[in-house]
């Protein structure tokens, strides 16, 4: 079973994620904010709940921000306007899937029906995990990865979860990952991988298998265990 070490710093301050920006965006676009303030504001009800519930609140704010940014692309408060979409990493030359190499890109469909590619995050550190729904450690892997995304996302980490089979051993579908993401509160891209793109990164027949990429994207670690120190060293 996967073990992800999560030693969260006790700073004494509540991590509000994108919630303040979401509220500012809503106010700038004429969206009523009283309920948003009461729920996601600095004194909101969200931050009186458990860590798990707070993670869900941060994810809800991120989703809200994305929706408003799509509706109001020219509103600066929504991080729209002239903001570039996607990183500019220049020409990427694939050299292989082993440690020290740059793999070929892949594009899969996430829980929201969006196309997501590895190269979308070529200027970041990426933690990729690959597993079937029937694997006993699936839920803990998804939950542990959500904590890592929340902890290191602002520092340049992007988690990608690849699901290749459903609970019956059939190829996973977009509907499968959408249902799982909703039930487990997963905010990072959870990708249906029916053609098993992720098998390229499997190490020693471990599932879930883990691959840590640095910017490039360069393969740094292929293993069944990756800890906080590994991630911090990979950050841009």
Which CATH number covers residue 146?
3.40.30.10
3-state secondary structure of 163: strand
Residue 85 confidence (pLDDT): 40
E strands of 9-136, at which residues?
A: 107-109, 115-117, 125-131
Residue 206 confidence (pLDDT): 67
Query: Does 127 fall in a domain?
Result: yes
Query: Does 118 fall in a domain?
Result: yes
CA angle (231 as vertex; 4, 195 as ends), nearest 5? 75
Whether the CB-CB separation of 18 and 65 falls below 8 Å is answered with yes
3-state secondary structure of 169: coil
Residue 7 confidence (pLDDT): 34
Residue 2 confidence (pLDDT): 39
Residue 83 confidence (pLDDT): 35
**65 lies in the same domain as 130:** no
- Buried b / exposed e over 136-174, threshold 16 CB at 10 Å, is eebeebbebbbbbbbbbbeebbbbbbbbbbbeeeeebeb
**111 lies in the same domain as 223:** yes
Query: Does 50 fall in a domain?
Result: yes
Cα torsion 184, 114, 81, 36 to 10°: value is: -30
Query: Does 162 fall in a domain?
Result: yes
**155 lies in the same domain as 223:** yes
**200 lies in the same domain as 136:** yes
* Segments forming the whole domain that contains residue 130: 107-234
**125 lies in the same domain as 66:** no
The domain boundary, picked from 62, 78, 94, lies at 78
Query: Does 44 fall in a domain?
Result: yes
Helices (H), the chain: 19-28, 34-40, 51-71, 138-152, 174-184, 228-234
Dump pLDDT digits (tens) for 38-83. Answer: 999 999 999 999 888 888 888 888 778 777 877 887 788 886 433 3
**141 lies in the same domain as 58:** no
**156 lies in the same domain as 225:** yes
Residue 130 confidence (pLDDT): 93
> What's the length of the chain?
236
Residue 225 confidence (pLDDT): 83
Whether the CB-CB separation of 219 and 198 falls below 8 Å is answered with no
**224 lies in the same domain as 179:** yes
Query: Does 136 fall in a domain?
Result: yes
Burial environment of residue 42 by CB neighbours within 10 A (0 to 12, 13 to 18, 19 or more): exposed
**70 lies in the same domain as 169:** no
What is the Cα–Cα distance from 84 to 123, expressed in whole angstroms?
A: 14
Residue 106: DSSP 8-state: -
**111 lies in the same domain as 226:** yes
Mean pLDDT by 10 residues, the chain (236 residues): 37 76 89 91 91 85 78 75 52 90 94 95 95 90 94 95 94 95 94 93 78 95 88 94
Residue 5 confidence (pLDDT): 36
What is the Cα–Cα distance from 27 to 39, expressed in whole angstroms?
A: 15
Query: Does 84 fall in a domain?
Result: no
Beta-bridge partner residues of 158:
126
**153 lies in the same domain as 201:** yes
Q: Which of 36, 15, 14, 10 is nearest to 25 (CA)?
A: 36
**133 lies in the same domain as 226:** yes
Q: How many domains does the chain have?
A: 2
């Amino acid at each position: 079973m996967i073990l992800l070490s999560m030693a969260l710093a006790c700073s004494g301050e509540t991590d509000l994620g994108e919630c303040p920006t979401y509220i500012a965006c809503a106010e700038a676009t004429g969206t009523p904010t009283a309920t948003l303030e009461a729920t996601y504001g600095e004194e909101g009800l969200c931050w009186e709940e458990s860590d798990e519930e707070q993670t869900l609140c941060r994810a809800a704010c991120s989703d809200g921000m994305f929706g408003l940014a799509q509706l109001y692309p020219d509103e600066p408060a929504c991080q729209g306007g002239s903001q570039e979409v996607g990183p500019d990493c220049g020409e990427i030359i694939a050299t292989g899937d082993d440690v020290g190499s740059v793999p070929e890109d892949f594009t899969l469909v996430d829980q929201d029906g969006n196309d997501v590619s590895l190269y979308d995050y070529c200027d970041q550190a990426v933690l990729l995990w690959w597993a079937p729904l029937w694997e006993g450690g699936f839920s803990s892997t998804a939950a542990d990865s959500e904590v890592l995304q929340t902890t290191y996302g602002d520092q340049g980490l992007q988690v990608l979860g690849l699901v290749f089979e459903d609970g019956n051993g059939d190829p996973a579908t977009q509907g499968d990952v959408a249902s799982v993401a909703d039930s487990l509160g997963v905010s990072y891209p959870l990708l249906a991988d029916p053609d098993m793109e992720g098998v390229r990164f499997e190490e020693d027949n471990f599932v879930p298998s883990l691959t840590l990429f640095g910017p490039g994207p360069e393969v740094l670690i292929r293993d069944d265990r990756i800890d906080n120190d590994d991630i911090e060293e990979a950050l841009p």
